[in-house]
């Protein structure tokens, strides 16, 4: 039997899928713009993933598979509930700060750098939120999560050419909104 | 001419979705064109900052409930 057809043990499966929890939560924040809805989305995603354990085989790209479940769950909920208009609140942006790595710096904490990081984080999050969901997903999956174009095509269920075009157009719009950060070196 | 080639492949270069031959041709040009080099450097630096700043940590309550789901099987 080829290695790829081997089933994971339940323990291996859990270990494989649980390592993507933080990333999934981050993507859910970008989709839902609500900490509460993002947590629900992630929970529904894992509930579906655990139910699908027996269909999971070694060699499946676990991260892409989970992200596809999460996005489908989001789109289904949005279709069925006719949710509120895309009003942009700020509480979800604070959730992103929780993931900021503490950079080892011999000079000690730098309040000015932290201040700039906070400003830039908020501006990027707001600019991403302004993008249509198709573009936002393509850019977040590529530039934040580091997925390849073919993995993104799998998650979004569109051809690679469409992924490429959404990333190009999404980035160009982001750049227009964030021009000040982009070109003056403060984004570095 | 080469600036146009960089523009054409710019986003694929930033995404690291470009073949070696194209990458080599672009980097050769960047050695001699300040404008294209700055453009590419800014885009790569911005992407890296965005990746760093957009990371999230699942809240403890969510982690606990997912662990419970996992234990239930």
**B17, B54, B66 member nearest A144 (Cβ):** B54
Per-range mean pLDDT, top range of A1-5, A48-52, A78-82, A167-171: A167-171
In the predicted model, what is the mean pLDDT of residues A144-161? 97
List, in sequence order, the alpha helices (H) in A8-110.
10-18, 21-32, 35-51, 62-81, 91-97
Asked if residue A4 and residue A82 are part of one domain, the reply reads yes
Closest to B7 in 3D by CA, of B32, B39, B42, B52: B39
Residue B60 forms contact with A (CB below 8 Å): no
Phi/psi of residue A169, each to 5°? Answer: -70, -40
Q: What SS3 class is residue A74? A: helix
pLDDT digits (tens, 9 = 90+) for B14-60: 999 999 999 999 999 999 999 999 999 999 999 999 999 999 999 99
Asked if residue A51 and residue A95 are part of one domain, the reply reads yes
Asked if residue A30 and residue A76 are part of one domain, the reply reads yes
pLDDT digits (tens, 9 = 90+) for A44-79: 999 999 998 888 877 789 999 999 999 999 999 887
Q: How many residues does chain A have?
A: 188
> Number of folded domains in chain A?
2
CATH number for the domain harbouring residue A2: 1.10.1740.10
| Residue A170: domain span | 106-188
Asked if residue A67 and residue A142 are part of one domain, the reply reads no
Asked if residue A157 and residue A112 are part of one domain, the reply reads yes
Whole-number Cα distances in Å, A33 to A86, A94, B18: 9, 11, 33
Residues in A closer than 8 angstroms to B39, CB to CB, are none
Asked if residue A131 and residue A65 are part of one domain, the reply reads no
Residues in B closer than 8 angstroms to A47, CB to CB, are 69
Structure ipTM: 0.93
Q: How far is B28 from chain A (nearest CA, A)?
A: 23
Cα of first residue to Cα of last residue in chain B, in angstroms, is: 60
Query: Two tokens at A184?
Result: 């003056």
Asked if residue A110 and residue A94 are part of one domain, the reply reads no
Asked if residue A92 and residue A4 are part of one domain, the reply reads yes
Residue B44 forms contact with A (CB below 8 Å): no
CATH number for the domain harbouring residue A182: 1.10.10.10
What is the pLDDT confidence band of residue A41, given thresholds at 50, 70 and 90?
Answer: very high
**Which of these three, A56, A83, A99, is where a domain ends?**
A99
Phi/psi of residue A107, each to 5°? Answer: -80, 0
Residue B51 forms contact with A (CB below 8 Å): yes
On whether the CB atoms of residues B43 and B16 are closer than 8 A, the answer is: no
Residues in B closer than 8 angstroms to A171, CB to CB, are 11, 14
Asked if residue A93 and residue A1 are part of one domain, the reply reads yes
Q: What is the pTM of this model?
A: 0.88
Q: How far is B35 from chain A (nearest CA, A)?
A: 12
Distance, in Å, from the CA atom of A107 to the CA atom of A123, rounded to the nearest integer, reads: 27
| Residue B35: domain span | 2-72
On whether the CB atoms of residues A71 and A31 are closer than 8 A, the answer is: yes
Distance, in Å, from the CA atom of A155 to the CA atom of A65, rounded to the nearest integer, reads: 7
Residues in B closer than 8 angstroms to A46, CB to CB, are 66, 69-70
**Which of these three, A99, A119, A144, is where a domain ends?**
A99
Asked if residue A75 and residue A1 are part of one domain, the reply reads yes
Q: How far is A157 from chain B (nearest CA, A)?
A: 19
Task: Give yes or no for residue A81 having a pLDDT over 50.
Answer: yes
pLDDT digits (tens, 9 = 90+) for A104-152: 555 556 888 888 899 999 999 999 999 999 999 999 999 999 999 999 9
Phi/psi of residue A57, each to 5°? Answer: -120, 155
**Which of these three, A34, A67, A99, is where a domain ends?**
A99
> Number of folded domains in chain B?
1
């Amino acid at each position: 039997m080829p290695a790829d057809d081997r089933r994971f043990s339940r323990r291996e499966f859990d270990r494989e899928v649980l390592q993507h929890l933080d990333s999934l939560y981050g993507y859910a924040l970008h989709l839902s713009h609500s900490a509460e809805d993002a947590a629900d989305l992630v929970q529904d995603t894992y509930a579906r993933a655990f139910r699908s354990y027996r269909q999971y085989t070694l060699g499946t790209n676990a991260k892409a598979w989970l992200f596809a479940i999460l996005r489908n769950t989001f789109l289904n909920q949005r279709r069925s509930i006719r949710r509120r208009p895309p009003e942009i609140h700020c509480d979800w942006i604070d959730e992103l700060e929780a993931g900021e790595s503490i950079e080892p710096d011999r000079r000690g904490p730098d309040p000015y750098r932290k201040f700039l990081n906070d400003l830039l984080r908020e501006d990027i999050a707001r600019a991403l939120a302004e993008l249509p969901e198709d573009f936002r997903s393509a850019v977040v999956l590529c530039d934040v999560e580091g997925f390849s174009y073919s993995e993104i095509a799998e998650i979004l269920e569109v051809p690679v050419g469409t992924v490429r075009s959404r990333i190009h157009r999404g980035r160009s719009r982001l750049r227009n909104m964030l021009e000040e950060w982009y070109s003056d070196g403060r984004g570095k | 001419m080469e600036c146009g080639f960089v523009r054409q492949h710019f986003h694929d270069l930033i995404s690291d979705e470009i073949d070696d031959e194209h990458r080599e041709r672009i980097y050769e040009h960047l050695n001699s064109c300040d404008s294209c080099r700055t453009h590419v450097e800014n885009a790569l630096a911005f992407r890296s900052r965005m990746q760093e700043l957009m990371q999230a940590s699942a809240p403890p309550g969510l982690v606990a409930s997912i662990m419970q789901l996992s234990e239930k099987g």
